[in-house]
């Protein structure tokens, strides 16, 4: 019986018997909504000696703060107990190079505070370590204060060794983080990690302390059965996909994450499919090193499909397996080619088609601010009524996709553009009164590479520093507007994720940093939007230049909205978060943008 999942059943003791080419094994993996039966035929390996390695580990987060120096995985050899153990290998010891596993307990999985717990860790190491392995426990309070509860370097040992220690969790602890790290070169293996109360029969509060492999490993053992009729392709910008194995005529086993290529630190897959028209195709997507619990905020919507690369709909016939390591989904394709993505993408090709589709619109023009770091065009739109002199209008500047994965904000911004270019009387009034400039994609390089998420670091913390070409181009554009006496009336920087509940967040600056009138108008605008959008709308008013933003202390000058307000002189400046729930369609996001535009129209009394 496989140890990894609560409701996982294997019909034969696979891990204790060699499999010959004449054997036929059938493995049944009980999933949330259905039972998947996988025939394992004619694969000529000895399962007792086969070495399988899986990136990531169910129940653990992989921590690789120094990319390219370490690898953390589950291996199925040399275990202390069970069929898997955790393995961290390092190939560099410069610049504090390290990698590890993290168990993060908070919210619904929080460790009850004010008690003493026992932590036990079994480990072994390679013969030589350039630095050390360690186990650490930290607690966090509601106001983000941290306290080290345990920090222990582990004595190197080539034999399995058990470290055990008591840990006192403070009364005010709301979050506990247990990290297993390797610093520098070498290898460390971990197994049988226990964190629980001190009684002999206490349950383990850690999920998968034994580092058992993900249930989807049965697909790794399944034989490949290529048909040649269906082709998956990734030769386009924004594509991201790992290993592909066809295990049936209309069935594929996929890895979401590419191997040995730059990849997003967040879940992202995007691929095309040719030859699928008229066929219902099943995909088993291995999410490693991510899981159902760690999907970058987009797990409520995964996945989406498109026949043209522009119009996307959700795939609803889907289910996670018991340990959350694999998402199985199926879809009947009507056209070829088609595209599948983990969430609504926003690609350079889409921007190109958006521009081409509006070339005849007299109120729309597109241009280029300059070149990105990788020599791509940084494009922008101008939307206005050219029959009205520019001097008689005020100026808006809106941007999106500083963080390339945050496409909810980009979709809402496109919704604003669609409304402004429509024949609606309100849109006509806005065109007559304002010039709206839009930079729809601040990070074309990261998006083209498969949503690498800030390959230049956090773009929204580097305004005014001269470190990011794309930021410098927009800064220069804003300064040029000022020299033409076209000071920005409203600046908005759009971000967002898919979350369990729908909400909008307006972040802006208080009177302590601006003036009373600006704060009053900023809140009046957010209240006007609040009346029109679905879900909650929350305001964040920053009253100190150094403030918490996304759980870290930030100099607001270095954010887009801060630079625009205090350096470019924008009268009102906002950072906008768009949090759509799993039921939000692409059109829902466009309607969200329309609500913004109509609220702006109302705000100005039209």
53-197: CATH topology is: Jelly Rolls (2.60.120)
pLDDT reported for residue 299: 64
- What is the domain partition of the chain in residue ranges? 53-197, 217-341, 348-603
Q: What is the mean pLDDT of residues 26-42?
A: 34
Phi-psi group of 605: left, alpha or beta (phi > 0 → left; psi -120 to 50 → alpha; rest → beta): left
**Would the pLDDT of 13 be above 80?**
no
- Residue-wise pLDDT for 441-484, tens only, equals 999 999 999 888 766 789 999 999 999 999 999 999 999 999 99
Which fold is adopted by the domain 217-341? Immunoglobulin-like (2.60.40)
Nearest 10 degrees: CA dihedral of 421, 427, 431, 436? Answer: -70
User: Mean of the per-residue pLDDT values for the chain?
Assistant: 88
Per-residue model confidence (pLDDT) at position 516: 96
pLDDT tens figures, 136-147: 999 999 888 899
Q: What angle do CA 162, 167, 170 make, to 5 degrees?
A: 165
Cα–Cα distance, 249 to 226 (Å, whole number): 7
Residue with tokens 């293996």: 189
Q: What is the pLDDT of residue 106?
A: 85
Average pLDDT over residues 408-417: 98
Pairing of strands 488-498, 394-400: parallel
**Most confident region among 7-16, 319-328, 382-391 by mean pLDDT:** 382-391
**Structure confidence at residue 21 (pLDDT):** 28
Average pLDDT over residues 175-186: 96
CB 573 within 8 Å of CB 565: yes
Per-residue pLDDT, averaged over 483-491, amounts to: 95
pLDDT band at residue 88, thresholds of 50, 70 and 90? Answer: very high
pLDDT in tens, 295-307: 766 667 789 999 9
Distance, CA of 603 to CA of 189 (rounded, Å): 61
Lowest model confidence (mean pLDDT) among 49-53, 203-207, 330-334, 419-423: 49-53
Q: What percent of the chain has pLDDT over 90?
A: 72
| Strand-pair partners of 72 | 88
- Whole-number percent of the chain with pLDDT over 70: 90
Question: Under CATH, what is the fold of the domain 348-603?
Answer: Aminopeptidase (3.40.630)
How high is the pLDDT of residue 282? 97
DSSP string, 122-176: EEEE-S--SSEEEEEEEEE-TT--EEEEEEEEEPP-SS-EEEEEEEE--TT--EE
pTM of the entire predicted model: 0.77
Q: What are the helix (H) ranges across 240-324?
A: none
User: What does R_g of the chain's alpha carbons equal in angstroms?
Assistant: 27
578 Cβ neighbours under 8 A, 6+ residues apart: 408, 409, 411, 412, 494, 495, 496, 504, 589, 592
> Looking at residues 241-252, what average pLDDT do you find?
95
Backbone angles phi, psi at 104, to 5 degrees: -115, 115
Strands 552-555 and 546-549: antiparallel
What local confidence, expressed as pLDDT, does residue 267 receive?
87
Q: What gap in Å lies between CA 119 and CA 279, rounded to an integer?
A: 51
* Look-up of token digits 């006496």: 485
SS (HEC) of 386-419: CCCCHHHCEEEEEEECCCCCCHHHHHHHHHHHHH
51-65, 130-144, 563-577: least confidently modelled range:
51-65
Instruction: Return the pLDDT at 47.
Output: 39
């Amino acid at each position: 019986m496989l140890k990894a999942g609560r409701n996982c059943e294997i019909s034969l003791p696979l891990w204790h018997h060699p499999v010959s080419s004449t054997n036929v094994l059938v493995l049944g993996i009980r999933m949330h909504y259905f039972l998947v039966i996988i025939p394992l035929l004619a694969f000529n390996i000895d399962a007792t000696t086969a070495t399988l390695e899986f990136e990531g580990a169910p129940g653990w987060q992989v921590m690789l703060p120094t990319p390219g120096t370490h690898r953390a995985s589950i291996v199925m050899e040399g275990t202390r107990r069970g069929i898997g153990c955790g393995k961290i290998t390092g190939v560099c010891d410069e610049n504090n190079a390290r990698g590890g596993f993290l168990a993060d307990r908070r919210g619904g999985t929080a460790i009850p505070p004010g008690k003493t717990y026992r932590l036990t860790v079994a480990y072994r190491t390679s013969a030589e370590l350039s630095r050390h392995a360690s186990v650490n426990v930290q607690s966090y309070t509601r106001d983000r204060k941290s306290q080290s509860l345990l920090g222990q370097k582990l004595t190197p040992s080539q034999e399995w060794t058990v470290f055990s220690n008591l840990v006192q969790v403070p009364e005010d602890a709301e979050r506990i983080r247990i990290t297993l790290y390797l610093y520098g070169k070498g290898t460390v293996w971990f197994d049988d990690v226990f964190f629980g109360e001190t009684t002999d029969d206490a349950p383990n509060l850690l999920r998968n302390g034994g580092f058992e492999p993900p249930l989807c490993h049965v697909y790794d053992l399944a034989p490949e059965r290529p048909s040649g009729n269906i082709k998956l392709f990734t030769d386009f910008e924004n594509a991201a996909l790992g290993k592909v194995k066809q295990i049936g005529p209309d069935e594929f086993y996929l890895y979401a994450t590419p191997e040995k290529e730059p990849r997003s630190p967040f879940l992202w897959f995007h691929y095309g499919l040719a030859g699928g028209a008229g066929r219902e195709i099943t995909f088993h997507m291995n999410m490693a090193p991510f899981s159902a619990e760690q999907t970058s905020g987009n797990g409520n919507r995964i996945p989406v499909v498109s026949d043209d690369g522009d119009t996307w709909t959700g795939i609803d016939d889907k289910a996670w397996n018991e340990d959350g390591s694999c998402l199985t989904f199926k879809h009947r394709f009507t056209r070829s080619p088609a595209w599948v993505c983990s969430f609504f993408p926003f690609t350079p090709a889409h921007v190109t088609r958006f521009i081409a589709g509006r070339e005849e619109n007299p109120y729309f023009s597109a241009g280029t601010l300059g070149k990105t770091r990788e020599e791509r065009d940084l494009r922008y739109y101008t939307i206005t009524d050219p029959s009205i002199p520019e001097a008689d209008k005020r100026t808006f500047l809106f941007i999106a996709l500083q963080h390339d994965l945050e496409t909810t904000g980009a979709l809402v911004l496109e919704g604003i553009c669609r409304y402004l270019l429509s024949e609606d009387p309100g849109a006509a009034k806005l065109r007559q009164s304002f010039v709206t400039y839009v930079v729809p994609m601040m990070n074309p390089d990261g998006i083209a590479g498969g949503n690498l998420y800030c390959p230049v670091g956090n773009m929204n913390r580097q305004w005014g520093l001269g470190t990011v070409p794309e930021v410098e181009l927009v800064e220069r554009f804003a300064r040029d507007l000022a020299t033409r006496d076209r000071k920005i009336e409203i600046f908005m920087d759009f971000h967002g994720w898919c979350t369990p509940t729908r909400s909008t967040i307006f972040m802006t600056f208080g009177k302590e940093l601006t003036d009373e009138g600006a704060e009053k108008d900023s809140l009046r605008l957010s209240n006007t939007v609040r009346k029109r959008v679905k879900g909650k709308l929350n305001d964040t008013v920053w009253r100190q230049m150094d403030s918490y933003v996304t759980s870290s202390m930030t100099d607001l000058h270095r954010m887009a909205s801060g630079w625009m307000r205090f350096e470019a002189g924008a009268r009102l400046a906002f950072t906008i978060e768009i949090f759509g729930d799993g039921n939000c369609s692409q059109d829902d996001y466009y309607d969200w943008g329309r609500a913004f535009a109509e609220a702006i129209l109302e705000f100005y009394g039209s």
